[in-house]
Amino acid sequence: MRDERVVLTIYVTVLVAISVIAVFSLPTLLTSLGPIYADYRATLFSNLTLIEEYTYHIGETGKTMLYRYWEAPLYIPPKLLITEKPPPEPLTIEEPHIVVVHVDCPQNSIPYVKDYQGLSLLYTYGPEYSTYLREISIRAYKNEAGCYFPGGVPLGSYTVRFTFQLNPPVHVDGKYAHLNIMLASTHIPYRQVEVVLAGFDIVKLYVHVPEYSVERVGSLTIIRGSSPRDVLLEVEFVVPRDSLEVVPTYTTSVDDVLSKVDQANSSYSLAYGITKGAFYVFAAALLAFPLMLVVRYVFTGTEKRFTVPEYLSYIPNPSRKPWHVNLLFHKDVVKMDENAFYATILDLAKRGVIEIREVGKDDVVVEVKEVGTAEDLDVYERRVLEFLREYGEGRVFSFKKFSEMVKKDAESSVVRARHHFSKLTSLTRTPREAYTYVMQFIEPRKPLPVYVMVALLLVVALTVVLIPRGPEYHIYPMGVTAFSILLLVEAAVSYTIPSYVFGRWKEDYYREKLEWGAFRNLLKDLAKLGKYAPQDLVIWRDWLVYATALGVADKVVEAMEKLNVPVPKEAYVPIVCRPIFTRTLATTRAAVSSGGRAAGRGGFGARGGFGGGGGGAR
């Protein structure tokens, strides 16, 4: 298989795996139950009595309270309380509210209520329970009813039953009454949800979120489904005004209730549909992106066919400078790495511009010759030579001393660390002139043009900013955000694909690329290298220069040692200098990156409902 196809196959395989895992596991992750969840069943009668039954499933220790809290004011009638001292009469509530009628708790637990004023009271009185009132008062929310387990909630399932009398705001006109009851907005996951509207002659019904099934059975309307953590559960409906079995206390007259409820829910349905649609569009885009890379390669990246042996036992083009070989034929076409630096040092030594004076297991020392002895140098070679001169002592450069000096400077001065970092990175940064040079050989292309990346970034940013958010949109906003960010990440990752994969080589330069690849295959294959090993040490030195440029110098040195060929001093440059250079670069990068940081309701539409809150455990 050709080299660019191997590279593309690896990238596409990884991206497909990431996309498939994300698209098919994210919804499961967002809707996962976790160790604590509940089954929820509620019945709302036409007299506005609400009976809720929570079956809590507790799979985690450390919990002491199973509760249900409201975002609306919760009222406690004094007559329901059994205490030594009756609490003071609550203030007159002049706004829609909820009245606690009964709390039924499991055995060995204490039913309690904390009202809208913050007053905490027990439904069950006894000397052994009074000591827990203060702890309940501190830990419970306002507008909360629940069950307190003094010894902690044992693992298992527990059913808690609440009875409330709702006094919600009601919108009325001459004929109809409109109610919007928010049963949950912030809650633990509900594995199963069943809401029964009993005795209502429903004219219009909207369930928020619209993922539930609705069934009419006689005078009952049954709503079923499930509710992930903190997803809205709300029922909005219109009934004939005279069908309510209770006269609403808090009414607001509006013109044409049916028109108002339809208008509000049309806007919500549109926003919900857009959000849900964006979720699936980004999911599809995520799955399609790796395939798009394949299509783009087929149409833009395929090259002319050349027959080149798998192993080549000679330097394909000795006229190429080592850093040119590193730039053009090793990894990405328009990107150099530190091997260009090591190979250039070897080449300059071969040409007599510098001399490798001393070598050891922990240092390499080179001497820069007089300027007059140097050949004409290109821009990158001059940069290497200037580096050696600047950090040398009397034109003698020691990698070990250089590393120690940089480490000392980086610890004492961020400014000096930045200077050293700039010099070091300049040795691995592709010179500007190199891009012009590269264009003689190839038309490099990235998988996506820059303007497409910018457009994608803008689309994702606008989508994330403008997409509606909140518990009334189910898991879709979180999914859109996750998918869009992941799509951007995949697009960014695709930019690391070597330029030659999607680019096209000019003339017959693709043949030379294949030949350098075959030569590299020989250098890194010890068995083959032994078979074709040259007898002349000069040829070994030449091979070593280009082996360094191609990132396989260690293999050549290993082969020389096995073949009992004297290892030249040049071999120590890539072997010994690499760890020194890498550590020094890491030291300056850390110093630069750390430098300068300082220490240290009842209205129309979704979420317009009265109530809120939901079941939980703490």
The yes-or-no verdict on residue 89 having pLDDT over 70 is no
Residue 553 near residue 342, CB atoms below 8 Å: yes
Do 421 and 333 share a domain, yes or no?
Answer: yes
What is the C-alpha to C-alpha distance for residues 482 and 18, in angstroms, rounded to an integer? 13
The yes-or-no verdict on residue 598 having pLDDT over 60 is no
What is the C-alpha to C-alpha distance for residues 385 and 382, in angstroms, rounded to an integer? 5
Q: Which of 43-52, 75-84, 455-464 has the lowest average pLDDT?
A: 75-84
Segment 511-518 mean pLDDT: 89
Please name the helix (run of DSSP H) or strand (run of DSSP E) that holds residue 345, with its range, or none: helix 338-350
285-336 pLDDT tens trace? 889 888 888 888 777 756 677 888 989 989 999 999 999 999 888 877 777 8
Do 416 and 506 share a domain, yes or no?
Answer: yes
Place of tokens 């457009």: 455
Higher pLDDT, 375 or 485: 485
Range of the domain at 520: 303-447+497-594
What is the C-alpha to C-alpha distance for residues 471 and 474, in angstroms, rounded to an integer? 6
- DSSP one-letter code for 59: -
One-letter-per-residue 3-state SS of 548-604: HHCCCHHHHHHHHHHCCCCCCHHHHHHHHHHHHHHHHHHHHHHHHHHCCCCCCCCCC
Segment 505-527 mean pLDDT: 86
State which amino acid sits at residue 396: V
Do 425 and 515 share a domain, yes or no?
Answer: yes
* Helix, strand counts (H, E) of the chain: 18, 24
- DSSP one-letter code for 613: -
The pLDDT, as a whole number, for residue 85 is: 46
Do 104 and 187 share a domain, yes or no?
Answer: yes
Residue 446 backbone phi and psi in degrees, to 5: -95, 160
Do 77 and 147 share a domain, yes or no?
Answer: yes
The yes-or-no verdict on residue 76 having pLDDT over 50 is yes
Place of tokens 């609306």: 72
Q: Residue 84 — pLDDT band, cuts 50, 70, 90?
A: very low
Joined tokens for residue 490 = 């995949």
Q: Which of 38-52, 224-238, 456-470 has the lowest average pLDDT?
A: 456-470
The yes-or-no verdict on residue 372 having pLDDT over 60 is no
Task: Examine residue 168 and state whether it is found in any structural domain, yes or no.
Answer: yes
Do 369 and 238 share a domain, yes or no?
Answer: no
The pLDDT, as a whole number, for residue 375 is: 59
The yes-or-no verdict on residue 456 having pLDDT over 60 is yes
Task: Examine residue 23 and state whether it is found in any structural domain, yes or no.
Answer: no
Query: For residue 121, how far is the Cα from the chain centroid?
Result: 45
What is the C-alpha to C-alpha distance for residues 482 and 476, in angstroms, rounded to an integer? 10
What is the C-alpha to C-alpha distance for residues 35 and 153, in angstroms, rounded to an integer? 13
Do 245 and 337 share a domain, yes or no?
Answer: no
Do 345 and 408 share a domain, yes or no?
Answer: yes
Task: Examine residue 605 and state whether it is found in any structural domain, yes or no.
Answer: no
Task: Examine residue 462 and state whether it is found in any structural domain, yes or no.
Answer: no
Segment 46-70 mean pLDDT: 91
DSSP letter for each residue of 522-539: HHH-HHHHHHT--S-HHH
327-360 pLDDT tens trace? 888 877 777 889 999 999 999 998 889 999 888 8
Which are the contacts of 484, defined by CB distance < 8 A and separation ≥ 6? 282, 460, 463, 464
Do 228 and 341 share a domain, yes or no?
Answer: no
Nearest residue to 278 via CA among 433, 113, 62, 475: 475
Q: Which of 37-46, 363-372, 545-554 has the lowest average pLDDT?
A: 363-372
Task: Examine residue 103 and state whether it is found in any structural domain, yes or no.
Answer: yes
Q: Is 134 left (phi over 0), alpha (psi -120 to 50) or beta?
A: alpha
What is the C-alpha to C-alpha distance for residues 484 and 389, in angstroms, rounded to an integer? 50
Do 177 and 310 share a domain, yes or no?
Answer: no
Domain count, the chain: 2
Do 319 and 390 share a domain, yes or no?
Answer: yes
Residue 66 near residue 38, CB atoms below 8 Å: no
The yes-or-no verdict on residue 155 having pLDDT over 90 is yes
The pLDDT, as a whole number, for residue 356 is: 92
Dump strand ranges (E) for 149-242: 156-167, 169-172, 176-184, 190-198, 204-208, 213-217, 220-227, 233-240
Task: Examine residue 159 and state whether it is found in any structural domain, yes or no.
Answer: yes
Task: Examine residue 453 and state whether it is found in any structural domain, yes or no.
Answer: no
Q: pLDDT averaged over the chain?
A: 83
Do 237 and 339 share a domain, yes or no?
Answer: no
Give how far Cα 200 sits from Cα of 157, 242, 547, Å. Answer: 32, 11, 84
Dihedral sign for Cα 585, 589, 590, 595, please.
positive
Domain with residue 222: its CATH number is: 2.60.40
Report the SS3 class of residue 351: coil
Task: Examine residue 608 and state whether it is found in any structural domain, yes or no.
Answer: no
One-letter-per-residue 3-state SS of 96-137: CEEEEEEEECCCCCEEEEECCCCCEEECCCCHHHHCCHHHHH
